[in-house]
A and B are shown apart, each in its own frame.
Chain A
Amino acid sequence: GENVEQHPSTLSVQEGDSAVIKCTYSDSASNYFPWYKQELGKGPQLIIDIRSNVGEKKDQRIAVTLNKTAKHFSLHITETQPEDSAVYFCAAIITGTASKLTFGTGTRLQVTL
């Protein structure tokens, strides 16, 4: 089955700096890659996603890049703010089944003042 690895497990940046979180996946058939943000006491919330037919997608301060050949994708957050502090999860979907997302282990991002 699919295996998703996520790095780093923790990341601390100063406010205004950029943050990058990287994930690799094993199943070359995966074609949908969402990113979720989980704040304390809440469930994961989708913040951005990318499909395998594009290499990059941007939404204001967040962007995701996908390298299908290398089977890795990354989340980029620019101009970080304290409210960006949360746990971020990447995921990849196994095609052919009903939305069976395989998640990474999460990255705890801390944005310091």
Chain B
Amino acid sequence: ETGVTQTPRHLVMGMTNKKSLKCEQHLGHNAMYWYKQSAKKPLELMFVYNFKEQTENNSVPSRFSPECPNSSHLFLHLHTLQPEDSALYLCASSPEGGVGETQYFGPGTRLLVL
């Protein structure tokens, strides 16, 4: 195991629901990331947090709202999603968010929007 956990592992939600994804890393890292993985597409970086501060927002729609209360926890709040948002959402962490650092991924949350 990589030390990065994600809950829930599977989530089905309607377009009017509000839900949250949770990520926790037990590696003592200071940078955390959200990625979206869709079929037949490259992994898409969504957000980056360094030392709890958001340093990257890769033009993500506002219906996705990240929260990083501390260096070990990262949330992704979801509201009024669209069916095309169905995907595997991966969380990752790295020691300090520097260039060339290895990123460690969690198992992902598979999201289905009906």
Contacts and interface: CB of A to CB of B under 8 A. Distances in A.
Interface of A: 4, 9, 31-32, 34, 36, 41-46, 49, 51, 89, 93, 95-106
A105 B40 contact: yes
Interface centre among A4, A44, A100, A104 (most CB of B within 10 A): A44
Contacts, number: 70
Contacts of B43: 44, 89, 101, 103
A32 B31 contact: no
Nearest to B106: A43
B66 interface: no
Contacts of B20: none
Contact of A44 (B41, B90, B99, B100): B90
B61 interface: no
B2 A31 contact: no
A31 to B, nearest CB: 7
B105 interface: yes
Contact of A98 (B40, B98, B105): B98
A42 to B, nearest CB: 5
Interface in B14-54: 31, 33, 40-43, 45, 48, 50
Nearest to B41: A105
Given A43-B90, A44-B105, A99-B31, A93 B100 contact: yes
A102 B42 contact: yes
Contacts of A51: 100
A96 B99 contact: yes
A32 B99 contact: yes
A14 to B, nearest CB: 26
Given A98-B97, A99-B97, A99-B99, 17 more contacts: A4-B42, A34-B102, A41-B107, A42-B108, A43-B4, A43-B90, A93-B99, A97-B99, A98-B31, A98-B48, A98-B56, A98-B99, A99-B31, A99-B48, A100-B45, A100-B48, A103-B42
